[in-house]
Structure 1
Amino acid sequence: MQRTLSKATTSILLIVAADQAPAALYAVDPGPYNPDIGSFAAWYQDTHGRTLDLCLSKTVSSRVAGAPGAPSYMCSLLPEPGVYDDTQALVFPTNFPPEAFWFTADAAIADAASGIDLSYGAAIEAAFAVEEPAEGDQISFARIRIRVDVPAIGTYTVTHPYGVEVFEVTAAEFGADGGRAINMTRDIGIGAPKTYDGALGGDIGPFLRSVNGPYIEVNPETSATERFIGDPNINEPVTGSPFNTNYVRIQGPAGIDLRTNLFAISGKLSDVQRPTPVIVQRSTYSRGTGEAGSSAQQDVFVMAPPPPGTARYDDAAGAAVAMTEANATGNWYGQSTGNPSTPASVTIHADNSIAIPENTPTAVSAPLVDLVRIQRAEYSLNSGQLTVVASSSDETNPPTLTATASSGASIGSLTGDGATRTLVTGVTPTPPATVTVTSGSGGSDTEEVVILP
């Protein structure tokens, strides 16, 4: 990874795909921070349960021989003259790398026939606000970097493990920067020094890992056994993408369509014990009476480590419900046909100890709420009337539905018979940008208000 702390920069238009989901890092070391490792967070954990230490080990690869002055380190250590000498003991701040990493993933596509030369990098990085090691300047961030020399103007789409980027290269921009028409660096999480939770909101996660790992090596300084999710000295297929896109692909004008599934990966597995990650995405119920009679169901969606990890939940009545996971992305779903007595909750149980012995079993409770849907949210400029139509998934015992504006101001209650309710009211002097409908049973939905003449 090239040393820079610049924000996302590019000479072309960058569009992030609308369906790109948030990344899946789960937790970061809350401190206190060890001065022996520069007072950085010791570890980050992803939603697949893997916890990676700040990789400062001088352990070398048993698969790739190093060269004089260039050991084949399993960590992405970057010596810098006058700042960090890797032949000497690590001492903060007098002999410490100006940048270090919890995780890196690098890939490249070079195709002379098409004129594409692409480099891709993803990382969770430790660095310093003033670049060189100094106490009180420690920062971390999640980085995605894409740089491409392209052969012509036009639209280029880059699909990578953590999302999709679309670049529009125009005639004015083509050829700038020595042919590098696409030059994007997106760093997320840089905040106040020695605050490390910002990277949790970045693009990275879960951690990509080699399909051939984990690799076990012996640290030459301590003789301790260490485990790594990949070897940065070799290029290998990986797994772990939250979108199941374990590759980098570029598509562009004149039928350009190239990809690679080979990455150089670094990351040192931690020995710290951590709970099995669980993130509840949705826990809702519905019930009604149809031609076939009364029916009810409880639907639960969670993010948790994929198999061999396991997940199940206890429904509102305490009955155990199996959950299934389809494609190793860590998205689980389960359904119960129990009819809940509201208010109610469910308890999700996840266990990833088979894959990662340091993960302890987790039980997480979540409220069971109805599913609210706004069918109509319209404002008439002529009449000054706001119309909101919404429904609850509880058709048997319809709860109250209340509307609020984007400002948080109350608009009023929806009325009507059955689970679908309506609110028509005057709103002045301007319409709300969005409206939120909240149910007495806990569910809610938010929609942008359509503006009519």
Structure 2
Amino acid sequence: MHRIPSALLLFAMTTGGTQAALFDVDPGPYLAPNGKFAAWYQDTHGRTLDLCLSRAVSSRVPGAPGTPSYMCVLLPNPGVYDDTQPLNFPTNFPDEAFWFSADATLVDATRGIDLTYVSAVEAAFGSGLPAEGDQLSFARIRIRVDVPTAGIYTITHPYGVDVFNVPAGGRRAINMTRDIGIGAPMTYTGALKGDIGPFLRSRNGPYVETNPDTGAQETFIGDPNLTEAVTGSPFNTNYIRIEGPNGLDLRTDVFAVSGKLSATVRPAPQIVQRATYSRENVNGLPKAQQDVFTLAPPPPGTASFLDSAGASVAMTEANGTGNWYGQSGGNPILPAQVQITANNSVAIPASTPTTHAQPLVDLVSIQRATYSIASGQLTIEASTSDKISPPALTAVAGESGASIGSLTGDGPAKSLSTGISPIPPATVRVISANGGSDSEEVELVP
């Protein structure tokens, strides 16, 4: 069961690269047939999933009496939701439902390991039972493991890496649930900031089944009655792996996945990560480049950009995670911008391309940010990628934005040393007159 936890029971450290998780959510209005939940969530690979309430069943796995092999994770609850009867909010409606779920188990009795993994985008109610105005959504990661001994355990999964310092072995010695997005009732944007996304999907799917209530054909990204290899991890870690004491190293590559593709037509998602230029004189001649990074649906999707002069540049993507890169050799005339286009119509024919205009800025790098406790001096050293016409650089406190001062120097590398007392800023930000910026934590030195 996917219950909201009252507390986390174990210290854990989470690591992993920065990622965009989910991209967008249905803005409403929210209707009673859907329990007044958001109808859909969209991920950065362009897939949009409906709240999965269909009673379509698997044509691959037969059900048993009283337990149909539903393609959605439907959880009957006596007195709350009777799955043999039509949905009716709130009198016959699941107290838990899912836009997406991908679960896995990893058991090795010889090594004393019993691991359960849950990833989901879930609909629930704050009081536990279906009620008007009490709807919640959240993105969940749950890891529960029986382990034989104390020690450091590292669990790699599709949405990151979690490290657990376990003081003693035993049943559920690792017991972590991380729910992100729970906020005011009927506010569904919080789950966009969770760990989930893009949606995992079966390598054997999609699967098409018939909804017995409507007769409509519905398409699913997986079959939760099966365990199958998946794709979609933003880190290309489409597996569960546990490493621990005494050489422990176990792995599984199969998941039970549920999610119903929406008929809602959405443009191709795109998140521009960076559009910068660099230039310098080489043997008396200017040499320049424009570098563009964007997050968009992976192949068969495509991405391209028009550089500052309007020249088209095809972008490349290396590993199916949707991280695209392209470079132009054009020397920009500032101010300038690039236009970046993502197209996902091969994977999702109804999807339309998305184009973003992005200012082209220099790349600022902070080489040093130190504060001397003895002298009260803050020293900042930074540089710009524009080595032909270096712009002015100014420093501000990272949290408040309070001015610190201007960096000086004739070339692209500039510095600033100023007295700040009694407390230095925790971080500083250096801003270029040409639009670039960089932030750095301040190192305290004697």
- TM-score tier by shorter-chain length is over 0.9
Question: C-alpha displacement at 1:7, in angstroms?
Answer: 5.6
CA distance in 2 between counterparts of 1:215 and 1:3 reads 25
- Equivalent position to 2:310, from 294, 303, 318: 318
Q: Please tell me whether the aligned partners of residues 272 and 358 of structure 1 are also in contact (alpha carbons under 8 angstroms).
A: no
> Are residue 6 (structure 1) and residue 36 (structure 2) matched?
no
Within 5 Å, which residues of 2 pair with 1:223-372? 223-291=215-283, 293-372=285-364
CA distance in 2 between counterparts of 1:387 and 1:99 reads 54
CA distance in 2 between counterparts of 1:162 and 1:358 reads 28
In the alignment, which residue of structure 2 is the partner of 1:426? 419
Q: 1:85 to 1:63 in 2, by over 3 A?
A: same
> Are residue 411 (structure 1) and residue 404 (structure 2) matched?
yes
In the alignment, which residue of structure 1 is the partner of 2:437? 444
- TM-score normalized by structure 2? 0.98
Note the residue ranges of structure 2 that are not aligned, 5 or more in a row. Answer: none
Note the residue ranges of structure 1 that are not aligned, 5 or more in a row. Answer: none
- Equivalent position to 2:14, from 16, 34, 49: 16
What whole-Å deviation, never above 9, does each CA across 1:120-167 have from its counterpart, x for those lacking one?
Answer: 010000000001000000000000000000011111110000000001
- Equivalent position to 2:365, from 361, 364, 373: 373
CA distance in 2 between counterparts of 1:8 and 1:122 reads 18
Within 5 Å, which residues of 2 pair with 1:7-406? 9-10=8-9, 12-17=10-15, 19-171=16-168, 174-175=169-170, 179-291=171-283, 293-406=285-398
CA distance in 2 between counterparts of 1:377 and 1:154 reads 37
Amino acid at match of 1:358: A
Identical counterparts, % of pairs: 68
Q: Please tell me whether the aligned partners of residues 395 and 407 of structure 2 are also in contact (alpha carbons under 8 angstroms).
A: yes
Note the aligned Cα RMSD (angstroms).
Answer: 1.0
CA distance in 2 between counterparts of 1:357 and 1:90 reads 31
Amino acid at match of 1:326: A
CA distance in 2 between counterparts of 1:66 and 1:212 reads 20
State which drifts further: 422-431 or 342-351: 422-431
- TM-score normalized by structure 1? 0.97
Amino acid at match of 1:428: S
Q: Please tell me whether the aligned partners of residues 105 and 264 of structure 1 are also in contact (alpha carbons under 8 angstroms).
A: yes
What whole-Å deviation, never above 9, does each CA across 1:196-242 have from its counterpart, x for those lacking one?
Answer: 00000000000000001110111111110100000000000000000
The number of residues matched between the two structures is 445
Amino acid at match of 1:13: F
Q: 1:419 to 1:188 in 2, by over 3 A?
A: same
- Find the residue that maps to 1:274 and give its secondary structure: coil
Question: C-alpha displacement at 1:50, in angstroms?
Answer: 0.1
CA distance in 2 between counterparts of 1:358 and 1:80 reads 38
Q: Please tell me whether the aligned partners of residues 143 and 187 of structure 1 are also in contact (alpha carbons under 8 angstroms).
A: yes
- Find the residue that maps to 1:237 and give its secondary structure: strand
- Find the residue that maps to 1:275 and give its secondary structure: coil
- Find the residue that maps to 1:359 and give its secondary structure: coil
